[in-house]
Amino acid sequence: MKLIYSLGVVLYTALIYIASPFSQKARKWTRGRRKWAARLEEYSKSDRPTIWFHCASLGEFEQGRPLIEKLKERAPETRILLTFFSPSGFEIRKRYEKADLVLYLPPDTPGNARRFLRLARPERAIFIKYEFWYNYLEQLQKSEIPVYLVSGIFRKEQPFFRSYGRFFRKHLAGFRHFYIQDENSASLLKEIGIDQYTVCGDTRFDRVHEISLKAADIEIIERFKCDEKLVVAGSSWPPDEGIIAGYINTNPDNLKWAIAPHEIDAASISRLESLINVPVIRYSEADKGDLTGSRVLIIDNIGLLSSVYRYASIAVIGGGFGKGIHNILEAATWGIPVMFGPNYKRFREAVNLIGHGGAWSFTTDYDFSTILDRFINEDNFLEKSGRSSLLFIKENLGATDIICSDLLTNRT
């Protein structure tokens, strides 16, 4: 099985190299991994202790980030080596100021894993949520480097819990400790004889709460909103935008809208504008046009969305008609109700927030308008749903402190 797995990694890597002339994402993946060893060799000249964090992509980074920053605060002499698998994480966070070095993770071959660990010399390794690279895990075990999983979540359909999962379970056993999100994950680990875990929740709750405490005023949003109810649509995709635009065109005066599409290239912004039949203005052009007279503001930049939610009465989160919804916690932390499409059931926080009465799912235009009209017409319903969102966030704070205290005191 190990040989098959390693050959699969080599084949996958080769296919990405073949695709790189035709795919920007593949090109970034391959170019970003060039000279990784030279960069790591330069980094290794310092004798200061290193903790290695690995995240698949940007979402996992947001789960690891609170712990990185807490560790740097409590142990500033510790260096942070941060690796990503995906360009969507690396390209945005390659200059992250709390990390001493940010790299793409080299492909998971036995040779790469040995060389990486020999150069990096981490005292500990921390993988975030779903990351299980088996050659790296094997080399970590052989090198007796403690490895931890943070914000882990397990599901019955994962290979660890299948009849053929012996190879995969072997590597799970090498983790020093699992910091997991829920009791279901604990039960699954217990079924396969793993008991070195702590159920402490998801560090993203701490992250979004911290963001809310530091959010700056956004004068453009204040002028655009005036004294009307504002709906913020975050990380929207075309299926979400079709439903949103249909509601706006039918009810042009009900609400003001700030839409932050997931894709902000020129073609995507122009397509979104073409769907809407009321006055629209882009954030980048807000000082040139009629801001107060516009009904829709398109957020055509990156990094603003989490602060824009503070001005919202309601949030609509995109992705629910595709692979899955984007970050709903960034909105919920502001004490507002959240809406999203039907593909949310793999997301524990979405399922639980619906159960708390702070979130609502829609599938059709009719569903969307029914929920939204109720928020508009029933102030008590809007306020109650918002309070439920805020309470949900507050009830789930604290995972970062639990993990950081354990790591710094070597209790696990």
DSSP sequence for 6-61: HHHHHHHHHHHHHHTTT-HHHHHHHHHTTTHHHHHHHHTT--S-EEEEEESSHHHH
Count of other CB atoms within 10 angstroms of residue 201: 23
DSSP sequence for 200-241: ---THHHHHHHHHHHPPP-HHHHHHHTTS-EEEEEEE-HHHH
Which amino acid is it at 221?
I
314 vs 101: CA distance, rounded Å: 39
Domains of the chain: 9-202+397-409 (3.40.50.11720), 215-395 (3.40.50.2000)
> What pLDDT does 205 receive?
95
Q: What is Dmax (Cα atoms) for the chain?
A: 65
> What pLDDT does 411 receive?
44
**CA atoms within a 13 Å half-sphere pointing along the CA-CB vector of 10:** 10
62 vs 54: CA distance, rounded Å: 12
- The CA-based angle 324-187-143, given to 5 degrees, is 85
Give Cα 77 distance to the centre of its chain.
27
Which amino acid is it at 215?
A
> What pLDDT does 410 receive?
62
314-338 residues labelled b (16+ CB within 10 A) or e (exposed): bbbbbbbbeeebbbbbbbbbbbbbb
> What pLDDT does 266 receive?
93
62 vs 303: CA distance, rounded Å: 13
Summarize pLDDT for 30-43 with one digit per residue, the tens.
Answer: 998 999 999 999 99
The pTM is what?
0.85
9 vs 20: CA distance, rounded Å: 17
Helix (H, G, I), strand (E, B) or coil at 343: coil
Helices assigned H by DSSP within 103-181:
110-120, 134-142, 166-172
Burial of 266 (0-12, 13-18, 19+ CB in 10 A): exposed
- With a cut of 50, which residues of the chain have pLDDT below it? 411-412
Backbone angles phi, psi at 403, to 5 degrees: -65, -45
Helix (H, G, I), strand (E, B) or coil at 274: helix
**Which residue shows structure tokens 């941060």?**
82
In this structure, are residues 388 and 357 in contact, taking their beta carbons and an 8 Å threshold? yes
Tokens of 244: 């949103």
Tokens of 406: 């354990």
CA dihedral angle for residue 183, residue 186, residue 191, residue 194, rounded to 10 degrees: -170
Summarize pLDDT for 140-185 with one digit per residue, the tens.
Answer: 999 999 999 999 999 999 989 988 888 888 888 889 999 999 999 9
Dihedral sign for Cα atoms in the order 230, 397, 103, 197: negative
Give Cα 313 distance to the centre of its chain.
23
- Report which DSSP code applies to 173: T
User: Which H or E run includes 188?
Assistant: helix 183-191
Helices assigned H by DSSP within 357-411:
365-377, 379-395, 399-409
315 vs 330: CA distance, rounded Å: 10
130 vs 127: CA distance, rounded Å: 8
